[in-house]
Amino acid sequence: RHQERHQAPASPPPPPPDTGDHMALLSNWAGANVELKDHKGGKGDRHNQWNTDGLPDAARRIVENDRDSASWRQKLQKMEEVLCGGDAGYADMDALGYSAIYLFWVGVGAVACAEDGSHYRPNHHAGSAERIYQHIEAVEAHATGSGGRHAEEVRALVRRLHPRLPAFTAEFTQSVPLTRVRDIAHGKGDRDGKCREVRAEIKHTIQNKLHRCAGPEDLVATEKMLAKLTAPGTDYPPEFVEEFRIFHRELKDFFNASTVTDRIEKLLREGDAPQSLRDAAKSFADAKARCDGIREPEGPALLAAVEEALARLSEARRAIDRELTEGGLRGANADQRQQWRLAEIGLEDYAFVLLSRGINALGAEADPPRSEMSAAEQRAALLFLAAAADAVAVSAGGGGGEFAGVAHEASELAVSGPGGMPPGGEEGALRSRAVAERARRAAEDAKNKAEAKAEQARLEAEHVAAEARRVAAERAREAEEARKAAEEEARAKEEARAKAAADASSAPPPPPTLAEREVAARRTAAAAAKKAKASPPGILKPTSEAAEGPAPVRAVTSAGVAVGTKVPAAPSASDAYASLMADDAGEVAEDVAPATIADGSLPLDVDDSLPFYLLDAHEDINSPGKVFLFGRVPVDASVANGETVSACAVVHNMQRCVFVVPRPEAFADPENEISDLEDAAALAARAADAAKDDEALAAAAKKAKGALLRCLQGRAAEVKGEVRDVLLARGIENFSMKPVKRSYCFERGDIPRGAQYVLKVKYPALAAPLPSDLRGAHFVCALGTQTGMLEHLMVKSRVMGPSWLALKGANRVASASQASWCKLEVNVAGAHKAVRAPRGDAPSRDPPLLTVAALNLKTVVNHRANVNEIASASVVYVRDVRADSATPTATLRDVNKVRHFSCVRRLDGVSMPPGWDQMVRNENDTNPAARRTKSVVLSSQTSERGLLSFLLARLQQLDADVIVGHNIAGFDLDVLLHRLQANKVPHWSRVGRLKRTRFPNLNGGGGGGGGGGEGGGG
């Protein structure tokens, strides 16, 4: 480019554009073609591919998050999880680096964004950006405090992230930002109505999309529309075009795509910065304007102007950095800090533009090169070199000492000769050559260091890739082993079935089961007692056993058990296991998977409600406005006590309910106006209830109630106005307010006891809760601000614990879209109104029978890593356990109900005993429990990861409602989660009901000193 400029000096180039266009401009848009089309909402299509094979953890999380996030808002929220998930000030270098690259790709369209089917204004994007900015700012400050190379690397990565975030200044965080486009679509600037068609196009292609699901593509669409409005031959009104230009600038401000000049001018015009900073920024703006005013492509005048602009640029950068880290901007609002930091980064980028112009002005790349310089030209060149070295020193931070020396030496040499010129003669030439050589060596050293860092990074990346390939190969080997084991297990099952069929055809009838023997014994005892009762007292009938003595007389209790007959006690766990292992246990059914419901159907009652037995409920902080209910649903609603399946009901659209207590004067009633209206409304309501078919009385009751409500609304006008302002200031647009009568009976002295009128405020739970200490000029306090949605649902729906519920308007969720691991999942959109107790005419149902599993882990301590590792896992599970009473003895003795399995893995560096694999096969072939249940009771794995995968697969197949164990909450569960996390086992959350991607906060069970020691978890 430089050669072309010097070959065509007759047409001087225009001043170079400012840099700072970091986001999606038409010039660097890399995504799909953005069309000006009507956006109907709904979900858009993406054509990305997501492959996480061999990726480091941070990159893998980003790819998985992108797969689950369609819109720009969702991607920003997921990046907030990646970047802000650690402690404040903690620098995850991988997360910072990969996030900067990812957000750049998103910004230029290389990673596509699409609508996600929801409606969120741009203030939600700004909120995520503000939280990310504050976190990475704290990360940079913490790293700077520690100093060293790490601080330089963190600073470089954070500076790459800042321009990728949207702005969160006041105009973008308000509840309805970017309203100018709405005014344009409604006719602002179009006095004569000539732009009706293009206004409608703006409304449907830009305004609706921007206010529903903003993304970088909207900036590209806006630029296309601006090009259309300003194309040659168009006659749109200038006022209309100017309004759209202003909107375009505002949108660039939101995407942080403004030029450095525009940003600084806006900060000087609107910001409240220290005077020293304003002076430095103003000096740069003036110097830049003088430089841009010179049209010559080279010469001393241009070189002097470039040198001055470059020097003022470095001063402005130092002033901004000083004020942000030590001065007045350190305590400023985050949005102001962000804009000044972006201005400083934009200045750094613009320094390269000035350096390019300075090189052109020198004629350094002229052909043939220049061999002589005048004293004035030499002075200008030295001053330019000093300014350039100083600019590099500012960017290098602590590593720019040599460049600072070059700047000092060059600036002194430029004015050290007679008349403020460089020294002449051979001495001057030698000194000039020496400082130039010093600058060249500094640049080459910096280049070599950068190349060395790049080479080191390349080697580290290759190492990571090799490790990833090794891990992938290991996983593939484990998968192949698991496949072979599954085939072996299937073959063993088939052989066992064939053998059982052959034995059944030739063997005598099987002995009675334990339950059948118990029933037969009771019947025999009852018959003997009845026979004894029919004989005269004291007279014994002769029997064939007379030689052995008379048979005792037996009486029968009301329970049907003969007195003198031993009543079986409730079996212990060892009894149940012994009966399971007994060779004479009789025929046992194969352990089949739990029942399922045909895809697409729901077992509804006659009132179209879904019967749902509640066992547990959960409120997830990452899913505001939702409550997860877990329990069981009948397979067939027409069968009173039939089979059931595990189910999850996701209750959507929950609303916060806040009671604002007004000051006493709001509803003061000295003239009994409210009391009279209450009496009239109550009297009319009783009359209407007494005559249910009288429409006139019903209308009168409605009218009386309306008169009371209008009076109360008028009394509460000031309170409502103040609360409305509070809600709007917090970005809450959708809300309702109504005076209601409630009673207060707690300890606060500023709230009257007993019944009183308060203002009931409801708004979506997606919005943040109001502060607990909220008060105002017209109200005393707000109650219920911190009430969780789970508590709210339980109270409003009057749920007293595990019980049958009726869910109205339930919609089945496809298996691939489920948020839980349950066999059935439904969405319930009606909040608490859709969760009710069954109607009086609903079928009477007993609590469903549950599956309970007892988990036992055996751990060993890895002394090198000082962590507990799992060596074996055993599960004993019981089906058909009652939830409301003791489980029958017959169930606990029934081998069709009580079963078990175990898994053992090889310890690292330790071989299994000789013949171990054959012993495992023999155990699964000859063990009575394995033979009768036709399932694997003992599995051998080569690694801890294989053991955990086997355990999760069996638990998911088992679909247990309850998992119990000795100290399971204090040790076993924590160890299990630690090891799932350490081994990166996919779908680790199968141990519970809810699908999760982030591990919960873990305790100390993963450490080698955790409770249980080497035998912990038993």
Predicted confidence (pLDDT) per residue in 414-456, tens digit: 888 887 888 888 888 888 889 888 888 988 888 888 888 778 7
In angstroms, the Cα distances linking 637 to 180, 236, 605, 641, 913 are 55, 66, 6, 9, 53
Tokens encoding 960: 């247990």
Least confident stretch, 105-109, 145-149, 519-523, 745-749: 519-523
CA distance 721 to 712: 14
Pairing of strands 824-828, 810-812: antiparallel
Q: Is the pLDDT of residue 87 over 90?
A: no
> What are phi and psi for residue 325, nearest 5 degrees?
-100, -30
Q: What is the DSSP string of 557-585?
A: -TTS-BTTSPPPPPP-HHHHHHHHH-TT-
Confidence of residue 38 (pLDDT cuts 50, 70, 90): low
Q: Where are the beta strands (DSSP E) in 501-549?
A: none
Cis amide prior to 552 (ω within 30 degrees): no
Partnered with residue 617 across adjacent β-strands are 629
More confident residue, 1016 or 487: 487
Confidence of residue 599 (pLDDT cuts 50, 70, 90): low
Place of tokens 């200031």: 729
- pLDDT in the model for residue 1008: 57
Compute the radius of gyration of the chain from its Cα atoms.
39
CA distance 648 to 587: 35
What do you get for the CA distance between the two ends of the chain, in Å? 75
Q: Is the pLDDT of residue 527 over 60?
A: yes
Q: Is the pLDDT of residue 853 over 90?
A: yes
Sign of CA dihedral 113, 118, 123, 129: negative
Q: Is the pLDDT of residue 536 over 80?
A: no
Q: Is the pLDDT of residue 803 over 70?
A: yes
Tokens encoding 379: 């002075």
Q: Is the pLDDT of residue 584 over 50?
A: no
CA distance 918 to 908: 21
- pLDDT in the model for residue 770: 93
- pLDDT in the model for residue 545: 36
Partnered with residue 742 across adjacent β-strands are 756
Q: Is the pLDDT of residue 805 over 70?
A: yes
Give me the amino acid identity at 693.
Answer: D
Cite the DSSP H helix spans in 691-847.
Answer: 695-715, 717-729, 789-796
CA distance 1007 to 810: 44
At residue 844, the 3 state secondary structure works out as coil
- pLDDT in the model for residue 549: 40
Q: Mean of the pLDDT values across residues 146-166?
A: 86
Cα 936 off chain centre by = 38
CA distance 622 to 625: 10
Q: Is the pLDDT of residue 1014 over 90?
A: no
More confident residue, 131 or 842: 131
Give pLDDT tens digits for 333-360.
Answer: 888 889 999 999 999 999 999 988 888 8
Q: Nearest-CA neighbor of 172 among 278, 259, 252, 243?
A: 252
- pLDDT in the model for residue 999: 83
Q: What is the DSSP string of 131-174?
A: HHHHHHHHHHHHHHHH-HHHHHHHHHHHHHHGGGSPP-SHHHHS
CA distance 359 to 159: 27
Q: What is the DSSP string of 852-895?
A: EEEEEEEEEEETTTTEEEEEEEEEEEEEEE-SSSPPPHHHHH-T
Give pLDDT tens digits for 282-325.
Answer: 999 999 999 888 877 777 788 888 889 999 999 999 999 888 88
Q: Nearest-CA neighbor of 160 among 253, 97, 80?
A: 97
Q: Is the pLDDT of residue 841 over 80?
A: no
* Contact between 648 and 995 (Cβ < 8 Å): no
Give pLDDT tens digits for 619-676.
Answer: 988 788 899 999 999 988 888 788 899 999 999 999 999 999 999 888 888 888 888 9
CA distance 212 to 183: 16
- pLDDT in the model for residue 1017: 35
Least confident stretch, 32-46, 48-62, 84-98: 32-46
* Contact between 782 and 769 (Cβ < 8 Å): no
CA distance 878 to 895: 9
Tell me the pLDDT of the chain averaged across its residues. Answer: 81
CA distance 64 to 52: 8
- What count of other Cβ atoms lies within 10 Å of the Cβ of residue 735? 17
Q: Mean of the pLDDT values across residues 141-170?
A: 85
More confident residue, 14 or 129: 129
Sign of CA dihedral 623, 627, 628, 633: negative
- pLDDT in the model for residue 13: 37
Q: Is the pLDDT of residue 964 over 90?
A: yes
Q: Is the pLDDT of residue 723 over 90?
A: yes
Q: Is the pLDDT of residue 3 over 70?
A: no
DSSP element (H, E) containing 715: helix 695-715
Burial pattern 872-897, b for ≥16 Cβ within 10 A else e, equals bbbbbbbbbbebeeebebbbbbbbbb
| Relative orientation angle of helices 375-396 and 300-325, to the nearest 10 degrees | 20
Q: Is the pLDDT of residue 8 over 50?
A: no
- What count of other Cβ atoms lies within 10 Å of the Cβ of residue 414? 24
CA distance 111 to 67: 11
- pLDDT in the model for residue 875: 93
Tokens encoding 788: 């969780």
What's the pTM?
Answer: 0.49
Give pLDDT tens digits for 188-243.
Answer: 888 888 898 899 999 888 988 888 899 999 999 999 999 999 999 888 999 999 99
